Chains A and B, each alone.
Chain A
Amino acid sequence: MFGYALRRVAMTVPVLLGVATLVFALIHLVPGDPAEAMLGESAPPADLADLRAKLGLDRPLMAQYRTYLTGLVAGNLGTSFRYNTPVSREIGSRLGRTAQLAVAAMLVAVVIALPLGVLGGLFRGSFIDHAATTLSLVGVSMPNFWLGPLLAIVFAVTLGWLPVSGTGSLAHLVLPAVTLGAALAAILARMTRATLIDELRELYVLAARARGLAKGRAVIVHALRNSLVPVVTIIGLQLGAVLTGTIITETIFAWPGVGRLLIQAISFRDYPLVQGCILFIAVTYVTMNLVVDLLYGWLDPRIRYQ
Chain B
Amino acid sequence: MIRRAGITIVGLAIGAAIIGPWISPHDPISQDLPLRLATPSWSHPLGLDELGRDLLARLIAGARVSLFVGCAVVGISSIVGVLVGAIAGYLGGRTDAIVGRVMDVLLAFPGILLAIALVAVLGPSLRNVVLALVTIGWVGYARLVRGQVLKVRELDYVQAARALGAPVSRILMRHVIPSTFSAVSVQATLGMAGAIIAEASLSFLGLGVQPPTPSWGTMLDAGRAHLFDAPHLTIVPGAAIALLVLGFNFAGDALRDRLDTRLTTN
A residues apposed to B, CB below 8 Å = 14-15, 18-19, 22-23, 26-27, 29-31, 141-143, 145-146, 149-150, 152-153, 156-157, 164, 240-241, 243-244, 247-248, 251-252, 262-263, 266-267, 271, 274, 278, 281-282, 285-286, 289
Contacts and interface: CB of A to CB of B under 8 A. Distances in A.
Contacts, number: 112
B123 A149 contact: no
A145 B228 contact: no
B197 A267 contact: no
Given A31-B122, A141-B245, A267-B206, 13 more contacts: A15-B108, A26-B118, A27-B121, A141-B242, A141-B249, A145-B201, A145-B217, A152-B227, A243-B110, A262-B116, A282-B109, A285-B109, A286-B108
Q: How large is the interface on B (under 10, 10 to 19, 20 to 34, 35 or more residues)?
A: 35 or more
A62 B112 CA distance: 28
Contacts of B81: none
B113 A142 contact: no
A218 B8 CA distance: 45
A217 to B, nearest CB: 36
Nearest to A158: B231
A86 B238 CA distance: 38
B226 to A, nearest CB: 10
Given A143-B245, A145-B217, A252 B113 contact: no
A30 B72 CA distance: 23
Interface in B157-178: none
A29 B227 contact: no
A29 B114 CA distance: 13
B121 A149 contact: no
B234 A150 contact: yes
Nearest to B233: A149
12 contacts: A14-B101, A18-B105, A141-B245, A143-B245, A145-B220, A150-B235, A244-B110, A247-B112, A281-B113, A282-B113, A285-B109, A285-B110
A149 B241 contact: no
B4 interface: no
Contacts of A143: 197, 200-201, 238, 241-242, 245
Contacts of B18: none
Contacts of B197: 143
B151 interface: no
